[in-house]
Structure 1
Amino acid sequence: MSYRQRKITVEFTLSDGRTFGNGQGNMLTITDASCFASIAVYGGVAGTQITLYIWGMSPAHMTNLSWRGVWRQEQSTANKMRLWADGRLIFEGDITDAYADYNQAPDIPLILTGQIHFNLRNQPAADFSAKGDVAVADIIRALASTVGLGFENQGVSRSLSDPHFSGNVVQQMLDVASAADINIDLGNVEKVTIWPKGQNRNIPPVLISPDHGLTGYPVYTMTGLSATTIFCPDLFTGRPAHLESSLPD
């Protein structure tokens, strides 16, 4: 498998009634974007994060998204960003920082960072309390539903006694997962997934081999096996992988 160029599309949406001016509304879509994106799909506590460098934007648009548009405490919500590679959505989340680096003139990039559920992490939420033994899946399902998130339970059957959790919704779900000692994935903008510790998610393994994205050779480390692949959006937290290489077992 060889490297190849992909068609990148980036969409920005301004929040809190702001617009890009000149009748453009609050949404800006850039097709065939000249950009560099680094996406970290942690899934759990850190969520999914992105750093995006994008070139070719007008000074006005960069201003709308950078110092005029970066989220501050007095704002209700951060601006949003979506990114597609060859028509496949690979990131959707909230912009946490943005600035134009004019030190790189004449090729000036707008540099943005983003995180899934950043807005939810900065919105107050009601405490969760219940009496008696309550299924962990029911607790997280209830919390997710308050903010319009779907929920998927892949085998968790534990319960918590007299549960009480406070903080924003994301923090409460993380605290529930920690108290129950289970895995939780908050790296999806549409749903929350939980599954037991020490197990994989119930999904077919992704194949990694020289013919399927593997670059170089796997490296044995103290914590496991490290392998590098070309861009592969099918790799995510909790999914099993089948690795083939010419290294001896």
Structure 2
Amino acid sequence: MSFTRKKINLTFKLGRDTNGVQYSFDGKYDTVTVSGLRIQVTIANAGAPSMGQASLIIHGLTPSLLNQLSSMNRLEGGQVSTRFNQLLIEAGDEATGMSLIFQGQVAVAMPTYNNAPDVALQVTAYAGLFEALKVAPALSVRGSVDAAVIMQNLATQNGYMFENNGVSVILSTPYFPGSPKRQMEACANAANINWSLDNGTLAIWPKGGSRGGVVQTISPETGMIGYPAGTPAGGVLVRTLFNPHLHYGAAVQVESSLPFANGKFVLFDIAHDLESETPNGQWETSFSGSVLAL
């Protein structure tokens, strides 16, 4: 296996205030792209209700950019405020290209001076954070309606793509108050289905099933690290070289020399641990999978 230079690209995009006015960096632009720097990223997704979380340490920012990014969630008086400030994370190399592996809202962005003069920026972001805090009118429908239609409408209203993997459950006169994310969760619970906010997509699929798409094969030949471990519930814990095509709720084909770690599993906990511009840095994906019913 050849070694390639690992890359992580970050895009920070400021949101708007409650009056629809666009925030900006220094009154000039609303988007900043960071690339070519030493960045440590951990992305974890264990599904609803928390969804995905990204934790980053960014080295090598200019003092000006460090100050701008660390002030994203601060008002003029210094108070911290949650805004619709988006973070997109892409990872890859020259051989495989770049893939989007996280899209969410910035909750924390602050400098750390522990290793000065190497001042780094620590960032924490969550998928669906803004939708969890946003004020929205209660969702109410008279009569019968397909849960998939409700979820598709919620996705469209909140700027998400929609992915339906075979869900068609009729609800009778549903009433879902709360934030958009709370409404998504309530609808999924009422329909007894799985759901996920993942990389800008609201996905739904039946309980006991999985999301569609190409089934990735994880084996020693495709990058499996070490041996899989078992879980008390009969599932598997697997480490592999970074694979951006593994998603929460997706099916995966595991092949190994261990009898319990062969077959199709559905991912219910997945993490990417990545380091760019770092010799021998981490570049792997780990996941837990439960046996997929045939």
Does TM-score exceed 0.5, indicating one fold? yes
The residue type paired with residue 81 of structure 1 is L
Q: In 1, are the aligned partners of 2:108 and 2:124 still within 8 Å (CA)?
A: yes
Separation in structure 1 between the aligned mates of residue 210 and residue 63 of structure 2, nearest angstrom: 46
Per the alignment, do residues 29 and 144 of structure 1 end up closer, same or farther by CA in structure 2, a change over 3 Å counting?
closer
Tell me the C-alpha RMSD between the 2 structures. Answer: 2.2
Match of 1:82 in 2: 88
- Per mean C-alpha deviation after superposition, the further-off stretch among 211-220 and 55-64 is 55-64
Separation in structure 1 between the aligned mates of residue 2 and residue 186 of structure 2, nearest angstrom: 42
Separation in structure 2 between the aligned mates of residue 42 and residue 82 of structure 1, nearest angstrom: 19
Match of 1:69 in 2: 72
Match of 2:288 in 1: none
Match of 1:11 in 2: 11
- Per mean C-alpha deviation after superposition, the further-off stretch among 138-147 and 31-40 is 138-147
TM-score by length of 2: 0.76
Once the two structures are superposed, residues 95-149 of structure 1 have per-residue CA deviations (whole angstroms, 9 ceiling, x without a partner) of 1101111122122210001112222222111111112222111221222222232
The residue type paired with residue 102 of structure 2 is F
Q: In 1, are the aligned partners of 2:15 and 2:85 still within 8 Å (CA)?
A: yes
What SS does the corresponding residue of 2:107 show, helix, strand or coil?
Answer: strand
The residue type paired with residue 172 of structure 1 is Q
Q: Which one of 216, 224, 227 corresponds to residue 217 of structure 1? A: 227
Does 1:123 find its partner at 2:134? yes
Match of 1:31 in 2: 35
Q: In 2, are the aligned partners of 1:71 and 1:78 still within 8 Å (CA)?
A: no
Per the alignment, do residues 201 and 28 of structure 1 end up closer, same or farther by CA in structure 2, a change over 3 Å counting?
closer
Matched ranges for 1:39-78 at <5 A: 39-66=43-70, 68-70=71-73, 77-78=83-84
Q: In 1, are the aligned partners of 2:225 and 2:239 still within 8 Å (CA)?
A: yes
- Per mean C-alpha deviation after superposition, the further-off stretch among 162-171 and 86-95 is 86-95
| Superposition deviation, residue 71 in structure 1 | 5.8
Aligned positions, number: 246
Once the two structures are superposed, residues 159-208 of structure 1 have per-residue CA deviations (whole angstroms, 9 ceiling, x without a partner) of 1221000111111011110121101121231x311111001223231100
Q: Which one of 92, 103, 106 corresponds to residue 95 of structure 1? A: 106
Per the alignment, do residues 69 and 207 of structure 1 end up closer, same or farther by CA in structure 2, a change over 3 Å counting?
same
| Superposition deviation, residue 34 in structure 1 | 0.8
Separation in structure 1 between the aligned mates of residue 80 and residue 135 of structure 2, nearest angstrom: 14
What SS does the corresponding residue of 2:130 show, helix, strand or coil?
Answer: helix
Match of 2:25 in 1: 20
TM-score by length of 1: 0.89
Separation in structure 2 between the aligned mates of residue 78 and residue 40 of structure 1, nearest angstrom: 21
Q: In 1, are the aligned partners of 2:100 and 2:199 still within 8 Å (CA)?
A: no
Q: Which one of 179, 189, 197 corresponds to residue 186 of structure 1? A: 197
What SS does the corresponding residue of 2:213 show, helix, strand or coil?
Answer: coil
Does 1:197 find its partner at 2:207? yes
Separation in structure 2 between the aligned mates of residue 119 and residue 27 of structure 1, nearest angstrom: 18
Per the alignment, do residues 164 and 248 of structure 1 end up closer, same or farther by CA in structure 2, a change over 3 Å counting?
closer
The residue type paired with residue 6 of structure 2 is R
Per the alignment, do residues 75 and 138 of structure 1 end up closer, same or farther by CA in structure 2, a change over 3 Å counting?
same
The residue type paired with residue 29 of structure 2 is G
What SS does the corresponding residue of 1:12 show, helix, strand or coil?
Answer: strand
What SS does the corresponding residue of 1:211 show, helix, strand or coil?
Answer: helix
Q: In 2, are the aligned partners of 1:40 and 1:48 still within 8 Å (CA)?
A: yes
- Per mean C-alpha deviation after superposition, the further-off stretch among 215-224 and 200-209 is 200-209
Separation in structure 2 between the aligned mates of residue 114 and residue 216 of structure 1, nearest angstrom: 30
| Superposition deviation, residue 81 in structure 1 | 1.8
The residue type paired with residue 73 of structure 2 is V
Separation in structure 2 between the aligned mates of residue 172 and residue 18 of structure 1, nearest angstrom: 28
- Per mean C-alpha deviation after superposition, the further-off stretch among 216-225 and 239-248 is 239-248
The residue type paired with residue 123 of structure 1 is K
